[in-house]
A and B are shown apart, each in its own frame.
Chain A
Amino acid sequence: MTPTQHSGRFGAFGGRYVPETLIPALDELDAAFDSAMADVAFLAEVDTMLSTYVGRPSPLSTAPRFSAAVGAEVFLKREDLNHTGAHKINNTVGQVFLAMRMGKRRIVAETGAGQHGVATATVCARFGLDCVVYMGEEDIRRQSLNVRRMKLMGAEVVPVGSGTRTLKDATSEAIRDWVTNVDSSYYLIGSVVGPAPYPRMVREFQSVIGREARDQMLAAAGRLPSTVVACVGGGSNAMGIFHPFEADPDVELVGIEAAGHGLESGEHSASLLKGRPGILHGTLSYLLQDDAGQIHPAHSISAGLDYPGVGPEHAHLRDTGRAKYFAVTDQGALRGFSMLSRLEGIIPALETSHAITWVADNASRWSAADAVLICISGRGDKDMEQVTDLGIGRK
């Protein structure tokens, strides 16, 4: 039932569609990851770092005023309270330990919103590793605070001016760096995308979210959630919270993509809802592309969801029906952003706001008996400048 296959496939999706040069490095990574996960000392090291540095376990919060507004009992898994302000660091900690175990001292990463870049720069600073982060010029403009944070912590931020100048092109450029420096460098991918074993590995490092949330729900509410909701960019916070609930048949799993200017506008990031299978960045998954197989630029108000592909395991969960996917527009996300801020005193990331709005907009789906668990993947400080420019939070 669980699609954890060492073939690197999730149903038909996934795989390793990369230049030959990288194959031995992926084999080595695959073996190193499996040996690390079987090593209690490695796992203990990661756990200690997560508790003493990241601040785990992250709390599960009730949300009484938001719950009253939507008509279900809502619980919030607070990844926004992690050090650096998002779930991204869970994965970064795991992969940095793996990189060091493999003897690599130079870390290469891509970033969209800058959250993964910041998390990577942070953990690299902590261990004295060289850190190079590729970031699209458009995202550098949208997320300038995060650029400054990365630089302050000693990372080199390389602007990417090719293509759409966003996460897609930053990822391509990070892969090109890796092909060139594969002997000395570790590519630290930030979501459940890319060639195998990355999707499986990132899911494993992010599953701490769902494992904790499952225990916390049982402790706080005495039951499992009826629905788990998360936003989906590449899909790492969603896989992280979904995975430990996958074997619970009564728990509904819902992923929310970015509908941008609307699903029919052609300007969105809803690859699962509007894409078709294809190959990008080494993996076979749903993709926004034209008839000729050229990748179609994604659009989202949130840089972290602005990606034309999605993790292959989500493609599989979509096709099997185990998870359901919906989308929320830019304007919708802004409503959720304000709503959670006012009702609960929690300013969510714009990415997360998509999930919040979907729960709020679907009041007719909920009854008072429903327990809805939302993954608050990050906090919205990084988005304040952008939303202020749009006139929110001024008065």
Chain B
Amino acid sequence: MASTLATISSDRIDSRFDSLKGAGRKALVCYITAGFPDTRGTLELMSGLEAEGADVIEVGVPFSDPIADGPIIQASSQRALAGGMTLDKSLELVTRARLAVPVVLFTYLNPLLSAGVDVLERAGNAGVDGVLVSDLPLGADPEREDWLAGSGLAFIRLVAPTTPSDRMSEIARTGSGFVYLISRLGVTGVQSDLPTQLPETAARLRAATSLPICIGFGVAEPHQARSAAGIADGVVVGSALVRAAGESVASALRLARSLRAALDDAT
């Protein structure tokens, strides 16, 4: 089944999850902020994270007013903006990185809309495989949701612990690639443990969709990644990697390596 799906879909995200599933492995999704610590650092992070075993790279487009983000990603965004990063320059970085693993553009709606009606096509040409918009929940703007769903890129949607089960199904039905399960109430950041109600939320989501599920928000350490992966198909690590990248690219890559090892251990 996995192989027929893969041949129908040219989608690199689908095939990546299919082959992970076939191998009984979990996905490591790594978030970085485009332009942080600087352009060169972003390029080194992208290729380095791929080499360390990332399955998907999420490239965050910096926004001046990121209401879903905690202090670490706020600060990285401000630094990236101060360095002149834009959505189009983020796309250039994706092109230059020439990654074999799929790339998801992680953005707020305003910079995406400002980039013009052909932005999704430009993103696809640049090598982007999917888009995730953190402030466009289901039903908020049907016209723009259709635009994203019909673009040919995977439209990755988010589910929260507060999302009722029937809404989970609807969210998953209108999305593609994978579903991003927000682990906790709150914004992105580094937390020391996983919320106790997470397994229950993940089980509700599992019952609502056949798409792969990746858990993010607060996942920082290998042991958390391992337990989150136990109830999902993968984990997203953002703030912890960005914080490490603020020290050095090497320390972010070290973290990625230990996350990869923890995930492979778990399976």
Q: A residues touching B (Cβ–Cβ < 8 Å)?
A: 15-25, 162-163, 168-169, 172, 175-176, 179-183, 278-282, 284, 287, 289, 291-295
**Any A CB within 8 A of the CB of B112:** yes
Q: Is the CB of B109 within 8 A of A279?
A: yes
**Is B86 interfacial (CB-CB < 8 Å)?**
yes
Report whether B164 and A278 are in contact in the complex, using a CB–CB cutoff of 8 Å.
Answer: no
Pair A289/B137 contact, Cβ less than 8 Å: no
* 10 A–B pairs (Cβ distance < 8 Å), ordered by A: A19-B68, A20-B162, A21-B186, A163-B65, A179-B186, A278-B110, A278-B114, A292-B115, A293-B115, A295-B64
Across the interface, do A281 and B185 meet the contact criterion of CB distance under 8 Å? no
Given contacts A18-B135, A162-B74, A179-B67, 12 further A-B contacts (CB under 8 A): A17-B135, A19-B134, A19-B182, A20-B157, A23-B162, A162-B71, A176-B186, A181-B185, A182-B185, A292-B111, A294-B81, A294-B111
What are the nearest 4 A-B pairs in CB distance? A293-B114, A180-B186, A21-B160, A293-B111
Complexed CA–CA distance, A279 and B186 (Å) = 21
- Residues of B155-210 at the interface with A, using a CB-CB cut-off of 8 Å, are 157-164, 167, 171, 182, 185-187
Kindly list chain A residues whose C-beta atoms are within 8 Å of the C-beta of B187. Answer: 176, 179-180
> B211 → chain A, closest Cβ, in Å?
15
Interface of B is mostly: loop
**Which of B136, B140, B164, B186 counts the most chain A CB atoms within 10 A?**
B140
B204 CB to closest chain A CB, in angstroms? Answer: 13
Given known A172-B65, A172-B67, A176-B70, contact A21–B113 (CB-CB < 8 A): no
Which of B65, B157, B158 meets A295, CB within 8 Å?
B65
A-B contact count (CB 8 A): 120
Q: How far is the CA of A183 from the CA of B186 in the complex (A)?
A: 11
- Alpha-carbon distance A169/B161, docked complex (angstroms): 26
CB distance from B159 to the nearest CB of A (A): 6
Interface pair A25/B113, CB less than 8 Å apart: no
Judged by a CB distance under 8 angstroms, whether B141 is at the interface is yes
Q: Tally chain B residues at the interface, Cβ within 8 Å.
A: 44
Inter-subunit contact A19/B160 (CB<8 Å)? yes
Contact of A24 among B63, B141, B164 (CB under 8 A): B164
- Bound form: Cα–Cα A22–B140 in Å: 12
Interface membership of B227, Cβ < 8 A: no
Chain B residues closer than 8 Å to A183, beta-carbon distance: 185
Instruction: From known contacts A16-B137, A23-B162, A292-B86, infer whether A278 and B113 are also in contact, taking CB-CB under 8 Å.
Output: yes
User: Which chain A residues lie closer than 8 Å to B136 at the CB level?
Assistant: 17
B137 and A23 within 8 A (CB): yes
Please report the C-alpha to C-alpha distance between residue A179 and residue B158 in the assembled complex, in whole angstroms.
14
B214-225 to A contact mask, C-beta < 8 Å, 1/0: 000000000000
- The answer to whether A24 and B162 touch across the interface, beta carbons within 8 angstroms, is yes
Q: Is the interface of A mostly helix, strand, loop or mixed?
A: mixed
- Closest chain-A Cβ to B197's Cβ sits at a distance in Å of 11
The answer to whether B109 and A17 have CB atoms under 8 Å apart is yes
What separation, in Å, do the CA atoms of A289 and B164 have in the docked complex?
Answer: 35
Task: Give Cα A277 to B91, complex, Å.
Answer: 24
> Which one of B66, B78, B137 contacts A18 once the chains associate, using CB atoms below 8 Å?
B137
A292 touches B114 (CB 8 A): yes
For A179, give its contact among B111, B167, B185 (CB under 8 Å). Answer: B185
Q: Taking the nearest CB of chain A, how far is it from the CB of B67, in angstroms?
A: 5
In the complex the two chains form, is A19's CB within 8 Å of B135's CB?
A: yes
Most buried by A among B110, B114, B182: B110
Neighbouring B residues of A295 by C-beta, 8 Å = 64-65, 110
| Beta-carbon contact of A21 and B185 below 8 Å | yes
Q: How far is the CA of A17 from the CA of B136 in the complex (A)?
A: 5
Q: Which residue of B is nearest A182, CB measured?
A: B185
When the two chains form their complex, are residues A20 and B141 in contact, meaning their CB atoms are under 8 A apart?
Answer: no
Closest CB-CB distance, A70 to chain B, in whole Å? 39
Complex interface: chain B residues within 8 A of A25 (CB): 162
Instruction: Specify which of B71, B138, B162 lies most central, judged by the most chain A CB atoms within 10 Å of its CB.
Output: B162
Q: How many angstroms from the CA of A159 to the CA of B141 in the assembled complex?
A: 34
* A19–B137 touching, CB < 8 Å: yes
